Structure 1
Amino acid sequence: MTGTTRGPIPDPSHHLAYRACRENITRLVTSDLSVAELPVPACPGWSVRDLVGHLVLVCRMAVDEHPGEISDPPPPPPGIPVPELVVTWAALEEQLPRVLPRAEWLRRRILPLDALSHELDLRTALGMPPPAGSPALADALDLAVMGFTLSLHGHGLPALRVRTPERVWTAGEGEPAATMGGGALEVFRALTGRRTVRQIAELSWSTAPAPWLPAFRWGPFTPPTRTVEEVAPTFMVRERHSGT
């Protein structure tokens, strides 16, 4: 029997989770266009418009099947208005079902991770709470733990049990030497460069966290030196939107 061997059909949940993040971000940035130039503390040097521009470029790279790393696209072109960016993004996202079935597995999974991470960055910048029950979170956490596992290997560190109220992972090989726990969103933000070393150490640890802290720097992620609250207190953003 002859023919071409095909891999499994990708889980459409990756696209649907990505779409949910895109729709959430679109609502947030178009409900008040004056937020376009607000800084995004979790992404130093970026404005809200830059964040949306980044997401458009990442989606375009996926649609064009660009061979480069979509986690590190070129900077977005300056000056494109947010309404134009979100229209372009929606049109690009409609093409993802055409290209995702033949995309390699990491690209399929990193799209919703990137979108969720930046949705949370945006919500923090606007002083808004995280989304309730994001469909992107479970798989994004899986992928973040996978990347963290590679970092543990690279640093020659023993395995670490990662625990949230809903799930437990073993990052690394062998019996975990310690457990780190917290809420799912806090663990995700810690694993993806959005929490300082001090904040990571303040998660629930079964032992002193110092040996594992270097592993939180991996891929494009590095713990910031200052918390987002120190850079831009959210109460000031809330006051701006309330007109006080």
Structure 2
Amino acid sequence: MTASRPLPAPDFVGYPEVRRGIRALLQGRPGTYRRPVPACPEWTVEDLLGHLAEIAERVFRRHGGTPPPDRPRDVPGLLDRWDDVGEELDRRLADAGGRSGEVMVMDAFTHELDLRAALGVPPPVEHLAWAPSFEVLVRGFSGSVAGRGLPALRIRTTGGSAWTAGAGRPSASVTAPAVDLYRALAGRRSLGQLAALDWSEPPGPWLPAFSWGPFTPPPVPGA
């Protein structure tokens, strides 16, 4: 897999921006805390936030930290808990360098997009987590393409970014707006939505590759 342009390093730089973005989304919207999140069918908004705080604590412990005393497990408490752990985790990831936090950042940013969709808020035009999270998703999808013995696929955004997924020279391409392509790689687009993207060849051979890692296309169209 090759990227058409270099990505910022280190990859965790977007994590504070995700925390700020989600806090801004939820503050002043107390009536939404029990709202379902369609991209995560078993979760409410509060459940999604609990997941993010739990993942931060898990990574924090992995880097030798001891989480601070617990806070109330409601949305305001979870936001504060996430910041308590996240601010220290930011420093530890900076010391570790490299890709230590890249999957966590991708997971958090993906869930920020899930939350925005659930609340009817458009995705951000610019975000520090966009590029590193895209790289994680393309790398995972590339492994799925190669692991299934499929021909390499050129992935393009309408904004001009491009990657090659799989091994060898691409035999086809798929093009979509950045947010749609990101959501497709993160298991947020149904097979019908995936097939409706701009493909240079019939997409059938590559559709199974969108099931990889924790991601599987939903049975109904996603947002």
The TM-score, its normalising length taken from structure 2, stands at 0.87
1:98 matched to 2:95? The reply is no
**Residue in structure 1 matching 2:139, options 146, 150, 160:** 146
Moved runs in structure 1, 4+ residues, more than 3 A?
101-107
Contact 1:30 1:82 (8 Å CA) reproduced: no
Cα–Cα, structure 1 residues 104 and 156, in superposed 2: closer, same or farther, change >3 Å? Answer: farther
Distance between the aligned counterparts of 2:186 and 2:99, measured in 1?
16
SS for the counterpart of 1:161 is strand
- Which structure has the higher relative contact order (CA within 8 Å, separation 6+)? 2
Q: CA RMSD in A?
A: 1.9
Question: Contact 1:15–1:96 at 8 Å: present in 2 too?
Answer: no
Shift of 1:101: 4.3
Q: Distance in 2 between matches of 1:30 and 1:143?
A: 29
Bigger share in strand: 2
Counterpart-to-counterpart distance in 2, 1:56 and 1:153: 34
Deviations 1:136-180 (A, max 9, x none): 111111111100011012211010000112311111111101001
Alignment of 1:210 onto 2:210: no
| More displaced 10-residue stretch of structure 1: 56-65 or 211-220 | 56-65
The worse-fitting range, judged by mean Cα deviation, of 107-116 and 197-206 is 107-116
- Specify every segment of 5 or more residues in structure 1 that has no aligned partner in the other structure, as ranges: 1-9, 68-78, 230-244
Give the C-alpha shift of residue 11 in structure 1. 3.5
Aligned position for 1:25:
22
User: Aligned match of 1:56 in 50, 53, 70?
Assistant: 53
* CA distance in 1: counterparts of 2:167 and 2:73, whole angstroms: 47
Q: Quote the offset at 1:64 in angstroms.
A: 1.0
**Which protein has the larger Cα radius of gyration, Structure 1 or Structure 2?**
1
User: 2:12, 2:99 within 8 Å by CA — same for their partners in 1?
Assistant: no
- Identical residues among aligned pairs (%): 44
Give the one of 32, 37, 40 matched to 2:37: 40
C-alpha distance in 2 between matches for 1:98 and 1:21: 16
Greater alpha carbon shift after TM alignment, 42-51 vs 88-97: 88-97
Aligned-partner residue type, residue 41 of structure 1? P
Cα 1:62/1:103, change in 2 over 3 Å: farther
- How far did 1:44 drift? 1.0
